[in-house]
Amino acid sequence: MNNPINQRESRRRFIKSGALLGAAALLGPARVLAAEQGETKTAEVTPTEDLMKEHGVLRRLLLIYDDMGTRLKEGREAPAEVLKEAIGLIRRFVEYYHEKDEEEYLFTRFNKAGKLVDLVQVLYAQHQAGRQVTTRIEEKLIPARFSQAAERAQLAAYLRAYTRMYRAHAAREDTVLYPAFRSVISPRDFMALGDLFEAKEVKLFGKDGFEKIVIQVADLEKRLGIYELAQFTPKA
Ligand SMILES: [Fe+2]
Ligand SMILES: [Fe+2]
């Protein structure tokens, strides 16, 4: 147990683990993973980091839905154009991009591995339900409807249904589904998927596509007066 060879081996392991921890701090998990695999290829953003960034955009769109819902309930000015543009972003970025990637590249792998199958089933059903609610929201924006109090109240209820479901949905994905993803995919495929997600983002939204989407969301926030982050800080 304490012979010199074992001592040397344990010291070697200690130095190696220390070196890896140091590398982790400097390089981030994807690059360390590559280093551990003896690969030179690196992924700037892992697929789960990418998906979580996209959840950040979704959460900001939910804040826009919150504000529109409050305006409708309180009878304040509620700019339909802002809501229309927010719905456009929900469709293009969340429903036809983020969710499609989850369904095609994550849900299929969990189902194939027989892991978190019940959760994946609920998440998939919520994607379908979300798209249906988006259609209901769009229908309420027809001017003849948007001008009626009863229709506006119904629209506020749809907005609330959407935000309530997606806050729970994204939180469950962030804390349960995404952390488990590495258990159903090889390290090599995990890294390759990061590159694929990046390539898809460029193809669909252009160079710096994510940043451009964030600018569009920020513009909608500014038009509603909810852009300044400090306004969300409670007064002492
Ligand atoms: Fe999802
Ligand atoms: Fe998601």
177-234: pLDDT as tens digits: 999 999 999 999 999 999 999 999 999 999 999 999 999 999 999 999 999 999 999 9
Do 63 and 151 lie in a common domain? yes
Distance 125 CA to ligand 2 centre (A): 13
What does the pLDDT read at residue 55? 98
Do 72 and 115 lie in a common domain? yes
Do 201 and 185 lie in a common domain? yes
Domain annotation covers residue 148: yes
Dihedral angle computed from the Cα positions of residues 145, 72, 94 and 130, in that order, rounded to the nearest 10 degrees: -70
Distance 154 CA to ligand 1 centre (A): 25
Do 6 and 88 lie in a common domain? no
Do 145 and 130 lie in a common domain? yes
Distance 55 CA to ligand 2 centre (A): 6
**Which bound ligand lies closest to the C-alpha atom of 93?**
2
**Which bound ligand lies closest to the C-alpha atom of 129?**
1
Distance in angstroms (rounded) separating the CA atoms of residues 208 and 136: 32
**Which bound ligand lies closest to the C-alpha atom of 59?**
2
What does the pLDDT read at residue 145? 86
Digits of tens for pLDDT over the chain (236 positions)?
Answer: 344 444 444 434 433 343 333 334 434 444 444 444 544 444 478 999 999 999 999 999 999 999 999 999 999 999 999 999 999 999 999 999 999 999 999 999 999 999 999 999 999 999 999 999 999 999 999 887 888 999 999 999 999 999 999 999 999 999 999 999 999 999 999 999 999 999 999 999 999 999 999 999 999 999 999 999 999 999 98
Do 118 and 182 lie in a common domain? yes
What does the pLDDT read at residue 18? 39
Distance 108 CA to ligand 1 centre (A): 13
Do 124 and 215 lie in a common domain? yes
Distance in angstroms (rounded) separating the CA atoms of residues 215 and 152: 28
Distance 128 CA to ligand 1 centre (A): 10
Residue 86's Cβ-count burial label (10 Å; 0-12, 13-18, 19+) is buried
What does the pLDDT read at residue 25? 40
Domain annotation covers residue 111: yes
Do 78 and 24 lie in a common domain? no
Q: Which residues surround ligand 1, an ion (CB under 5 A)?
A: 102
Q: Which residues surround ligand 2, an ion (CB under 5 A)?
A: 173
What does the pLDDT read at residue 4? 42
Distance 212 CA to ligand 1 centre (A): 22
Domain annotation covers residue 233: no
Distance 172 CA to ligand 1 centre (A): 9
Distance 140 CA to ligand 2 centre (A): 26
Distance in angstroms (rounded) separating the CA atoms of residues 139 and 148: 13
Do 2 and 110 lie in a common domain? no
Distance 39 CA to ligand 1 centre (A): 31
What does the pLDDT read at residue 146? 87
**Based on the structure, what is the number of domains in the chain?**
2
Task: Report the CATH number that the domain containing residue 63 is assigned in CATH.
Answer: 1.20.120.520
Domain annotation covers residue 232: no
Distance in angstroms (rounded) separating the CA atoms of residues 169 and 180: 16
Structure tokens at 13: 């392991």
Do 82 and 21 lie in a common domain? no
Chain mean position to CA 114: 23
Domain annotation covers residue 85: yes
Contact 98, 56 (CB under 8 A): no
Do 148 and 216 lie in a common domain? yes
Dihedral angle computed from the Cα positions of residues 176, 50, 129 and 131, in that order, rounded to the nearest 10 degrees: 180
**Which bound ligand lies closest to the C-alpha atom of 127?**
1
Distance in angstroms (rounded) separating the CA atoms of residues 17 and 24: 10
Residue 38's nearest CA partner among 180, 181, 191, 179 is 191
What does the pLDDT read at residue 214? 98
Amino acid at 50: D
Do 1 and 14 lie in a common domain? yes
Domain annotation covers residue 158: yes
Which residue range is the domain that position 63 belongs to? 45-227
